[in-house]
Chain A
Amino acid sequence: MTSDETTAAFGAEHVAGYNFAYLDEQTKRMIRRAILKAIAIPGYQVPFGSREMPLPYGWGTGGIQVTASVIGPDDVLKVIDQGADDTTNAVSIRAFFAKTTGVATTERTAEATLIQTRHRIPETPLREGQVLIYQVPIPEPLRWLEPRESETRKMHALAEYGVMQVSLYEDIARYGRIAKAYNYPVRVHARYITSPSPIPKFDNPKMDRNPAIQLFGAGRERRIYAIPPYTAVESLDFDDYPFTVEQWPESCALCGATDSFLDEIVTNDKGGRMFICSDTDYCAGRRAENGEETAA
């Protein structure tokens, strides 16, 4: 079996004694209502009755609850962490859903109907019908500027976003540029300032007018928000200091890509390093296209 085949990895039968996808149907309905509300008000954080999950807070309990509420037996699930399918947390969450739903899982972005992610958006463009589910640690983009929930909710309600622009101003005054590398705030549908979860700002442009549904789940903070398909998502900036994404002086050492987010790999203790795609599926796909033999 090659790793890029779509597989029902952990057996087709889901584990006995638990409901399909772990959560009971009532809870799923409650979460779906929150998701519908979130889609109706793009970028608005909807409070929901987050349940305690068998995985720890911070490991993606929000994303897992959202996935559990929208997944069906015919879905094909992909789970990534840091862009990769084989990082421990991605493996563990994939195994959780394989065990509790028996659905097929895949590593191929193109084949997935649901993609749960932590910290990245896949390089392969998403299409209509796909759902991208983000795991979110701190859903409140204003949290670092105002610690009080009662105040930040008011600020959102009244669109009082001056302090956010001030924080960008401060960056330029101090560093000559906007120095936010990840979790770079966006404005959704010209209304709510929203946290893109800590994806690198490199991925921000992919959120804009994306054909897929983007759902965000924050379990510990009990919030769900969403970006419906083809919704405008603008990264905050100044007219004379426009938003830009990072660039690497090198290309991927494995597939030669120049357009993907690269992870730096330290190869020895003498300063040796190389860069490879953080999106393992994208990298493998490019290598296969180039006719290169990939190690199984």
Chain B
Amino acid sequence: MYVAVKGGERAIENAHRLLAEERRGDPAVPELTLAQIDQQLAHAVDRVMTEGSLYDRELAALAVKQARGDLIEAIFLLRAYRTTLPRFGASEPVDTGEMVVRRRISATFKDIPGGQVLGPTFDYTHRLLDFTLAAEGAPVAAAEEAEQSVAAMPRVTDILGRDGLFEAETAEDDAPVGDVTRDPLEFPADRDLRLQVLARGDEGFLLALGYSTQRGYGNNHPFAGEIRLGEVDVEFVPEELGFPVELGEVTVTECQMVNQFKGSATMPPQFTRGYGLTFGHCERKAMSMALVDRALRARELGEEAAAPAQDEEFVLAHADNVQATGFVEHLKLPHYVDFQAELVMVRAMRDAAEQDNSRKVAAE
């Protein structure tokens, strides 16, 4: 007698064991430590923290290790952990103007108060494979220690803002900042929610969308007003104290795009802002985010919104890679029943068409 294939608990268990084995790889090769991942694959850790919306280098490194380097899987792991954490409240807004800056560049002014600080960047490296890296253990020549700027560097956008050339941004209302991880997104979405979705959004998706705005699909004439990387303090106001206490510091990358705006009945011509912020050092993501943020402001600024990057529902509904990968990959799950229903339907329609044809032939 025929017995249909059993999915079976044992099969799953075995698959998990096989995965664990493959994850470890050849036992003759030393196992990666979390510290190694944190230190030597720092951009991977940064990205996982940013899109996983959880600032914890060790957990992010663990996720990268457990996911075998699959960053979307690692983001997923971190998110699933984050969702179980209790929430005590929201921090005070971090002040990036008070950042201890390690990198700070502006494409809008040659010189700015505080100067351009190149910092650790791939930007001007020649992309030649460095075979000395293949030979492990080669000592690295120490970089010349710049004098750490102790004085806070003013943000370029604040400098522009002083002349009224740059739009002042103030909260539209006193409503608390929304939280897309707690409440369902409704359209049209306010900017706080849009920025949250973008901050959690997939780097590749935002990169492509940002890129599309540079190629004529919703151009908004961007200039990289400023990109800065460094450490900022995180403060929290416990209800019982009523004043802010410092919880610690986090590394963030901030990008402020400066965009043209022709003005409207109520606003004189001025520059407008596209904003990007990430945990760690994720410059590409921060820039893409700033481009897309500005593109999504088309409605608010009374611009024509015809390009994909300006389409709020399209962008926000598809930016999350954990959602996207889940739904794409769920096609692997069985769909026997729906397919069977289709089979029955197609056969019945084919039969009907055949009968139709034979009737026509008989009639001729």
Interfacial residues, chain A to chain B (CB-CB below 8 A): 18, 22, 24, 47-54, 56-59, 61, 81-84, 86-92, 95, 118-120, 137, 147-150, 175-177, 179, 181-183, 198-202, 220, 222-223, 246-248, 253-254, 261-265, 267, 274, 276, 278, 280, 295
Contact = CB atoms under 8 A, between A and B. Distances in A.
A201 B328 CA distance: 24
Interface stretch (B176-184, B202-210, B274-282): B176-184
Nearest to B6: A86
Contacts of B1: 254
Given A52-B83, A175-B349, A220-B323, A87 B334 contact: yes
Nearest to A264: B340
Contacts of B328: 58
B7 A201 contact: no
Given A222-B184, A246-B345, A263-B337, A276 B2 contact: yes
A106 B212 CA distance: 52
Interface in B1-59: 1-4, 6-9, 11-12
B337 A83 contact: yes
B291 to A, nearest CB: 23
A1 to B, nearest CB: 13
Contact of B344 (A83, A90, A181): A181
A265 B184 contact: no
Contacts of A265: 2, 4
Interface string B217-241: 0000000000000000000000000
Given A87-B7, A88-B11, A220-B327, A51 B83 contact: yes
Contact of A261 (B6, B8, B12, B340): B340
B152 interface: no
A177 B349 contact: yes
A278 B336 contact: yes
Contacts, number: 153
B2 A86 contact: no
Contacts of B329: 56, 58
B343 A264 contact: yes
Interface string B343-354: 111001100100
Interface stretch (B74-82, B143-151, B253-261): B74-82
A278 B340 contact: yes
Contact of B12 (A58, A91, A179): A91
A82 B334 contact: yes
Interface in B266-298: none
Which 7 A-B residue pairs are closest in the complex by CB-CB distance? A58-B330, A57-B326, A47-B184, A181-B341, A200-B341, A56-B326, A88-B7
A52 B181 contact: yes
A18 B188 CA distance: 36
Contacts of B337: 82-83, 119-120, 182, 199-200, 261, 263, 278
A263 B325 CA distance: 28
B184 A182 contact: no
